[in-house]
Amino acid sequence: MKFGGTSVADALCIRQVVDILEQHYKNGDKLAVVVSAQRGVTDQLIEITGKLPTAKDDSIIVPLIQALGKRHMTALEGAAPDYVAEAGAVIEERLICLQNILFAVYNLRELTPRSKDYIISFGERLLAPVISAALHQRGIPSTVLDGCEAGILTTPRHGESTALFESDERIKKRVGPLLEKEIPVIMGFMGCSASGTVTTLGRSGSDYSASILGAGIDADEIWIWTDVDGIMTCDPRVINDARVMGSLSYSEVMELSYFGAKVMHPRSIEPAMRKNILVRVKNTFNPSHQGTVIVRNGQRDNRVVKALTYIDKVAAININGAQMIGRPGVAKAIFTILAEHEVNVMMISQGSSEANISLIVDEEHLNIAVQALSNLVKQGVVREVTHNHNVCAVAVVGAGMAGAPGTGGRIFTALGKNCVNVMMISQGSSEANISFVVNQKDGARAVRVLHDEFRLSEESDE
Ligand code: ASP
Ligand code: MG
């Protein structure tokens, strides 16, 4: 079971979390817990590490340490009054360590990716002892492990590392035996590379930790506890009658999370899928709601389209030139140069005339992408590169679209009837996702039109 930042935001929330754990423990379930940092703490740590190398003085360090100390001690006093001295000493020691590192970054005027990863893992390091103490308070034995101690071995890519398969065996050996006698509390978001250096798994990475650990111990189920009832048909800020879905397949969740839906860390499905473990998304504040179940094949479900996502922080790039026609290697040149500049390409489309390739990239990467591609213009590989900031991308997701004729027709007919102009279309051959690009101003309307067309707000017999 993984609990996210809002679920552990204060003593009251933590007591609710422990209620849930206690109930399962008493029922005889064997549990491992993964915790993230308290809401906002990772952001605070990222912010200060960004400032320190160029800060005028070191006056921002102590106030942050004091605020973190106060917040975690208050949570501890509220959730585990009998363990304040014991767990408080651990927290105190970690705060001193963090403070020393922050002063070092300031004094050296240097922040390496490696030190940044260690610093931003402190949100989890500070909270895990609180949760473990709160379990002790209920008489439940519990120890704390950091991601590395729990066996998560990762690639050395700081800030965005990926778990290696060798983790499975290590996790089984280290976490497995603990399940027989206690509820281990494991710090999410981090692992370590082969050299033993702390790495982090990317923002929201504790979902991924839960999945890696679940796969390692061959869990029956992986539960992601969050602050909403489950995965929704669309972002409720865009569609007010968006609905919580009862079940989804692994591939549907992957399509949704890769495409900007803030449902789960994008890589968190892979380990569960590899071991075919059921994943459940549930609300800490409404535990009796059944939530969303994620399994290999979305169960007994007649819907072709299940959910929509919408990203407006994207930009379109068009690459044109008659010289691209029939010439092998143009696509290679384009994608190589973009990769070298670490540009993330979200959608690609090429017409069969081959005279034009269109791409959708993160808005933040637009300038660097256009600059990189201008080299290809200079070399005569392509004629021109144009771009458009005012676009947004919509993805229509549903595994049932595969092999179901007419879905594309329905999507684009509905959009046409409502005068939404479509600028680019792409469908992967998995057929679980049809994505298209429209003018920024049409984005929310396009989503509304399709949410209605496919009656996504209505309960079906899912
Ligand atoms: N604390 C980390 C973050 O804020 C990991 C997580 O919350 O899942 O990104
Ligand atoms: Mg989070």
Domain boundary among 194, 219, 244: 219
- Asked whether residue 211 falls in the same domain as residue 312, the answer is no
Is there a domain that residue 232 lies in? no
Is there a domain that residue 462 lies in? no
The confidence band for 431, taking pLDDT boundaries of 50, 70 and 90, is confident
Q: How far is the CA of 345 from the centre of ligand 2 (A)?
A: 24
pLDDT at 59 over 90: yes
- Asked whether residue 206 falls in the same domain as residue 86, the answer is yes
Does ligand 1 have an atom closer than 6 angstroms to the CB of 204? yes
DSSP string over 215-243: HHTT-SEEEEEESSSS-BSS-TTT-TT--
The confidence band for 191, taking pLDDT boundaries of 50, 70 and 90, is very high
Residue nearest to atom 6 of ligand 1 (CA): 204
Does ligand 1 have an atom closer than 6 angstroms to the CB of 147? no
Is there a domain that residue 254 lies in? no
- Kindly state the percentage of the chain with pLDDT values over 90: 82
pLDDT value, residue 462: 46
- Asked whether residue 331 falls in the same domain as residue 190, the answer is no
What number does the ligand 1 atom closest to the CA of 204 have? 8
Domain count, the chain: 2
**Tokens 């059944």 correspond to what residue?**
290
pLDDT at 299 over 80: no
- What does the block give as tokens for 289? 């709601």
Does ligand 1 have an atom closer than 6 angstroms to the CB of 38? no
The confidence band for 429, taking pLDDT boundaries of 50, 70 and 90, is low
Decide if 317 contacts 326 (C-beta within 8 A): no
**pLDDT, tens digit, 9 for 90 and up, residues 122-143:** 999 999 999 999 999 999 999 9
Decide if 433 contacts 427 (C-beta within 8 A): yes
The confidence band for 50, taking pLDDT boundaries of 50, 70 and 90, is very high
pLDDT at 273 over 80: yes
**pLDDT, tens digit, 9 for 90 and up, residues 371-422:** 999 999 999 989 999 999 999 999 999 988 888 889 999 999 999 999 999 9
**pLDDT, tens digit, 9 for 90 and up, residues 87-109:** 999 999 999 999 999 999 999 99
pLDDT value, residue 442: 95
Decide if 398 contacts 307 (C-beta within 8 A): yes
- Asked whether residue 179 falls in the same domain as residue 318, the answer is no
Q: Which of 311-320, 422-431, 438-447 has the lowest mean pLDDT?
A: 422-431
Domain boundary among 219, 237, 261: 219
- What does the block give as tokens for 137? 């308070």
Is there a domain that residue 302 lies in? no
What number does the ligand 1 atom closest to the CA of 206 have? 8
Residue nearest to atom 7 of ligand 1 (CA): 204
Is there a domain that residue 273 lies in? no
Is there a domain that residue 255 lies in? no
pTM of the model as a whole: 0.90
Q: Phi and psi (nearest 5°) for 454?
A: -95, 15
Q: For residue 194, what are the domain limits?
A: 2-219
**pLDDT, tens digit, 9 for 90 and up, residues 63-75:** 999 999 999 999 9
Decide if 329 contacts 291 (C-beta within 8 A): no
- Asked whether residue 314 falls in the same domain as residue 206, the answer is no
Is there a domain that residue 261 lies in? no
pLDDT value, residue 301: 61
pLDDT at 111 over 90: yes
User: In this structure, how many other beta carbons lie within 10 angstroms of the beta carbon of residue 367?
Assistant: 11
- Asked whether residue 347 falls in the same domain as residue 206, the answer is no
Choose one of 204, 207, 213, 265 to mutate for the ligand 1 pocket test, by most ligand atoms within 8 angstroms of C-beta: 204
